[in-house]
Amino acid sequence: MSPIHPKQTARKEIYSGKIFQMVEDELEHEGRSFARVTVLHPGAAVFLPLDEDNNLLLVRQYRHPIGQMLLEAPAGTLEPNEEPLTCAKREIQEEVGMSAATWTPLGTLYPAPGFCSELQHLFLARDLTPAPDAEQDEDEFIEVVPLSIGEVEEKIHSGEICDAKTIALYYRYLQYI
């Protein structure tokens, strides 16, 4: 079977929230119609802060959908029409308590294209300085975890780092250096 690109014939909103919408689309191909539920997401910035001792600054936080603490690259959701780099610069202050003078784009990722339109914009953040005045979002409780390259590798191999964007961004970083 070769892949097809069906035509969208209708859209119905199922849910509209603060961060994303959910829609049910009607698709059609050669007289057959079928429905797909999609999460419409504004996109995100994901970044690896690298400090002067060559540590990558990851964050540990509770992820309610899976009921677990995860160790991840810091990230934030884009505001409407926000540039990804603007978002990354805000989030590195909020989540890591730092600002970065040097930002390097490391491409983009689709984390869940089966049901979600989210596009993640990846960056390496270097030349860090403390930015202690930043306030965390009131519903985010985040611990910053500095890890050497070797420790990140070990935690990916052991499965402790199991967040897809973090593993993919780390791979992009290895290709870059």
Q: Interface residues with Mg ion (CB under 5 A)?
A: 75-76
| Shortest CB 126 distance to Mg ion, Å | 20
Q: Which residue's C-beta sits nearest to Mg ion?
A: 76
Task: Give the shortest CB-109-to-Mg ion separation in angstroms.
Answer: 15
* Least distance CB 43 / Mg ion (angstroms): 13
Verify whether residue 30 is a known catalytic residue. Answer: no
3-state helix/strand/coil string of the chain: CCCCCCEEEEEEEEEECCCCEEEEEEEEECCEEEEEEEEECCCEEEEEEECCCCEEEEEEEEEHHHCEEEEECCEEECCCCCCHHHHHHHHHHHHHCEEEEEEEEEEEECCCCCCECCCEEEEEEEEEEECCCCCCCCCCCEEEEEEEHHHHHHHHHHCCCCCHHHHHHHHHHHHHC
Nearest distance from C-beta of residue 138 to Mg ion, angstroms: 13
Decide whether 24 or 165 has the Cβ nearer to Mg ion.
165
Instruction: Give the residue from 49, 123, 127, 133 showing the smallest Cα distance to 92.
Output: 49
Closer to Mg ion by CB, 13 or 143: give it. 143
Among residues 75 and 161, whose Cβ is nearest to Mg ion? 75
Q: Which of 72, 138, 154, 160 is catalytic?
A: 138
Q: Which is nearer to Mg ion, 29 or 63 (CB)?
A: 63
- State the catalytic residues: 138
